[in-house]
Amino acid sequence: MTNSDYSRIPMVDTGNLSPAQQKVYDKIVGGKRGRLAGPLHVALHVPELAERWSAFGEYVRFEGELPQWVRELAIISVARFWNSQVEWAIHSRIAASEGLEPEIIEAIRRGDVPEFGDELQALVYEFMRQLLEFGQVADGAYRALHERIGTAALVELTGVAGYYSLVAMTLNVHRVPAPDDADAALFDHPNGTTTRHPTRLPPCRIRRRNS
């Protein structure tokens, strides 16, 4: 990317970093990411923030107890809710590589009702739907998911929701562009119009197996 790729904020020049920025940059590219990703280009303007941001992000993305598909289902739900083109472009691909069905990913992209064949996937989606829309999760949805994945994983999932909401807001407000090879555009709104409001996620359905 070049500076002109950013509509509102210049990309940090990695060849001309301050000592504080260089220290954080080296830690980021030497870590599990291996590169300076979009939102960290923004955060590196404040290296103290970028250092803590990167550490938090590495944990919720690469470590912990959550299966990777759970993380990615949560992340694309966040991306859809906040209409984050960049977050969607990156993580919809990862979600597919982690085994989420293309039909589910496409339904979430379009704001349609996703139909899950796996009950645990449906429970994760419903937890995320309620958390994003209401900032709370009803007792029934909380209990059902807690019984399946346990306390530590549920706490981590909430952390994923919070972290990737931070990422989405940062990408959106500074208008960081999507990669040139991004997949199908994420509608700003399911009907194709532009909106500055979040996109509400509809309740899902569970696909019943034939007896």
Per-residue pLDDT tens for 27-64? 999 988 888 888 998 999 999 999 999 999 999 989 98
Q: Provide the token pair at 130.
A: 């309620």
Higher pLDDT, 189 or 14: 14
* SS3 at position 179: coil
Instruction: Write down the domain spans for the chain.
Output: 12-62, 68-206
CB 203 within 8 A of CB 129: yes
CA distance 57 to 195: 28
Rounded to a whole number, what is the distance in angstroms from the first to the last CA of the chain? 53
Q: What beta strand segments (E) does the chain contain?
A: 115-116, 205-206
CB 64 within 8 A of CB 91: no
- DSSP character for 206? E
CATH H superfamily, domain 68-206:
AhpD-like (1.20.1290.10)
- pTM of the complete model: 0.88
Backbone angles phi, psi at 100, to 5 degrees: -70, 135
Average pLDDT on 161-183 reads 86
